């Protein structure tokens, strides 16, 4: 069965209600004639009235997600799905004047999604707004586990509300932008909970709080206005403007912190220390000693390679390294990642579709702490 889901998330904002609403309302099902929408790109007058009634009755501070699911449609109608979701977007945006902001409609592959249109209504805690992160890049199949128990596949421009968790599998990753502009990359085989999100780090305000249950995250931000706490099963890192990576290992029970720019405070229980730029630390029942980051790989070749379909890259071994991580990106900022993979060797084969890419390498030590990135170089692939 071919399944396609197209999602639009909108935030209803108004005056906060006098009493806080329930934590979450149940999923509301609304059939707006999916087959007809796909075939014609139009929504019937009856469906418009049903949508109007549904949206009119929702309370303030409610997130409304409309997902168009096509369970058994042939390929040709699927090609017209973008026009269908555009029509739905226009209708929803015109129904209520209190719809003040909407995200870009985006494709979703929702496994098990029944044919039809679901309208998911979730009421939050009465603050009058919903703090959320925005997905700016995703590689592979990544899902968000929502607070009401749903698995929502993530794509570029998806939004992830606080109290959700981002889950990545092997070979996948996701980069999100927090409300204050902090960029966070969730690496493969990770589970990151967005415990609470803050728009700014105003004086006296609480920090945004993330909880890394397992895996790795990388984050970077510059300047003031950022206030972030990252919790692992046995440590808490307080970040106030830096570039860093945090890891949580399920098997060993260890956490690690590597700081590439600025400084980060870390605590285990009542004991704490500050980790400066160029250093890392490992924590379990207690904090370990500060240790220098592994050196970045050098002498990368080729520095401007051009290959037909298949190419090889290499670099010099790094003393003390037990492995390396190769990143290949479609953009120079390493946001649109094509390949992110661990290797033990220093000469790697790359297969890639035609296009220009950029590549760099990280060294990894025996505590799974990574160096800073090597220099980056362009590499071009043409058709074989």
Q: Encode pLDDT of 304-313 as tens digits.
A: 889 998 999 9
Q: Which CATH superfamily is domain 305-382 in?
A: Immunoglobulins (2.60.40.10)
Q: What is the DSSP letter of 227?
A: -
Phi, psi of 3 (to 5 degrees): -125, 130
Long-range CB pairs of 225-231, under 8 A, 24+ apart, other chains included: 225/180, 225/181, 225/200, 225/201, 226/180, 226/181, 226/182, 226/201, 227/180, 227/198, 227/201, 228/178, 228/182, 231/195
CA-wise closest residue to 231 among 257, 198, 200: 257
SS3 of residue 53 by DSSP:
helix
* 305-382 has the same fold as 131-293: no
Chain-centre distance of CA 83, in angstroms? 26
Stated pTM of the model? 0.69
pLDDT above 90: residue 244: yes
Phi, psi of 53 (to 5 degrees): -65, -45
For 12-58, write each residue's pLDDT tens digit: 333 333 333 333 333 344 455 544 554 555 666 766 676 676 666 55
Question: Quick one: pLDDT at residue 103?
Answer: 32
| DSSP for 35-52, written as a single string | HHHHHHS---HHHHHHHH
Tokens 């990143």 -> residue: 327
CA-wise closest residue to 240 among 263, 273, 209, 258: 263
Question: Quick one: pLDDT at residue 106?
Answer: 33
334 token code pair: 């390493």
d(CA 231, CA 180): 19
Lowest mean pLDDT among 153-157, 227-231, 297-301, 363-367: 153-157
254 token code pair: 């260890």
d(CA 271, CA 61): 40
d(CA 142, CA 151): 10
Q: Which of 36-45, 175-184, 235-244, 298-307 has the highest mean pLDDT?
A: 298-307
pLDDT above 90: residue 360: yes
Q: How many residues does the chain have?
A: 384
Higher-confidence position of 109 and 179: 179
Q: Which residues contact 326 (CB under 8 A, 6 or more apart)?
A: 313, 339, 340, 341, 343, 348, 359, 360, 361
d(CA 339, CA 355): 14
Query: In sequence order, what are the beta bridge partners of 252?
Result: none
CA-wise closest residue to 214 among 245, 189, 185, 239: 189
SS3 of residue 298 by DSSP:
coil
d(CA 69, CA 230): 36
For 273-324, write each residue's pLDDT tens digit: 999 999 999 999 899 999 999 999 999 999 988 999 899 999 999 999 999 9
Residue 209 has a CB neighbour count (10 Å cut-off) of: 18
Q: Enumerate the domain spans of the chain.
A: 1-129, 131-293, 305-382
Average pLDDT, the chain: 76
pLDDT above 60: residue 167: yes
pLDDT above 70: residue 200: no
Tokens 């679901």 -> residue: 118
Contact 329, 363 (CB under 8 A): no
pLDDT above 80: residue 361: yes
Long-range CB pairs of 29-33, under 8 A, 24+ apart, other chains included: 29/116, 29/118, 29/119, 30/54, 30/117, 30/118, 30/119, 31/116, 31/117, 32/88, 32/116, 32/117
pLDDT above 90: residue 341: yes
Contact 293, 279 (CB under 8 A): yes
SS3 of residue 95 by DSSP:
helix
Instruction: Kindly report the CATH number that applies to the domain delimited by 131-293.
Output: 2.60.120.1440
């Amino acid at each position: 069965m071919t399944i396609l889901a197209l999602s639009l998330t909108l935030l209803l904002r108004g005056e906060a209600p006098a009493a806080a609403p329930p934590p979450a309302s149940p999923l509301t099902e609304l059939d707006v004639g999916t087959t007809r929408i796909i075939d014609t790109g139009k929504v019937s007058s009856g469906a418009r009235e049903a949508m109007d009634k549904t949206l009119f009755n929702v309370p303030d501070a409610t997130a409304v997600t409309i997902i168009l699911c096509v369970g058994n449609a042939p390929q040709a109608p699927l090609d017209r799905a973008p026009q269908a979701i555009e029509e739905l977007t226009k209708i929803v945006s015109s129904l209520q004047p209190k719809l003040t902001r909407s995200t870009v409609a985006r494709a979703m592959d929702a496994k098990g999604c029944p044919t039809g249109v679901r309208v998911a209504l979730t009421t939050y805690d009465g603050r009058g707004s919903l703090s959320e992160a925005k997905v700016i890049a995703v590689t592979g199949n990544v899902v968000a586990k929502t607070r009401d128990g749903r698995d929502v596949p993530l794509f570029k421009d998806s939004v992830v509300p606080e109290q959700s968790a981002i889950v990545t599998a092997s070979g996948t990753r996701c980069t999100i932008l927090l409300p204050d502009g902090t960029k966070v990359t969730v690496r493969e085989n990770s589970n990151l909970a967005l415990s609470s999100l803050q728009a700014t780090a105003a004086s006296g305000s609480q920090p945004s709080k993330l909880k890394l249950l397992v895996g790795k995250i990388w984050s970077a931000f510059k300047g003031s206005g950022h206030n972030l706490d990252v919790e692992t099963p046995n440590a808490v890192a307080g970040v106030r403007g830096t570039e860093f990576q945090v890891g949580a290992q399920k098997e060993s029970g260890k956490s690690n912190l590597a700081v590439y720019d600025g400084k980060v405070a870390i605590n285990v229980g009542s004991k704490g220390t500050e980790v400066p730029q160029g250093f890392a630390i490992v924590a379990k029942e207690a904090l370990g000693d500060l240790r220098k980051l592994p050196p970045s790989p050098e002498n990368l070749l080729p520095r401007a390679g051009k290959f037909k379909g298949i190419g090889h890259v290499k670099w010099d071994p790094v003393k003390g390294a037990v492995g390396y991580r190769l990143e290949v990106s479609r953009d120079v900022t390493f946001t649109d990642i094509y390949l992110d993979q661990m290797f033990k060797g220093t000469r790697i084969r790359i297969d890639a579709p035609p296009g220009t890419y950029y590549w760099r390498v990280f060294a990894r030590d025996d505590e799974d702490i990574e160096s800073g990135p090597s220099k980056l170089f362009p590499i071009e692939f043409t058709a074989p």
